[in-house]
Amino acid sequence: MAGQNVLEFTDANFEAEVLQSSQPVLVDFWATWCAPCKALLPVIDSLADQYSGKVKVGKVNVDDNQNTPGQYGVRGIPTLILFKDGQVVDQLVGAVPKNQIEELISKAL
């Protein structure tokens, strides 16, 4: 399961938690059956701790929440999308190294 600083985003709370957030938000689109998603989990936990108070970090389970991934064209998982002021800043697809995700986050700070 995700660490204490990793939030759970759903179709129901996505607008309030992500699009209306005053902080940048890193969203991990994932599924329980996805091996690369599981491999990325410790990296996401680490980033959530590292950027606590600066960037919200959360996950959207694509099996339980199908509207939001569809809205953002998520076709493969894991997909990481960085939002700032309700807009997509950039995205990464696949189990990418932590430094690549840090570079992504730096675009919003």
Active site residues: 34, 37
- Count the alpha carbons within 13 Å of 11 in the hemisphere toward its beta carbon: 10
- Please state, in angstroms and rounded to a whole number, the distance separating the CA atoms of residues 38 and 78: 9
Determine phi and psi for 104, rounding to 5 degrees: -60, -50
HEC letters along 33-52? CCHHHHHHHHHHHHHHHHCC
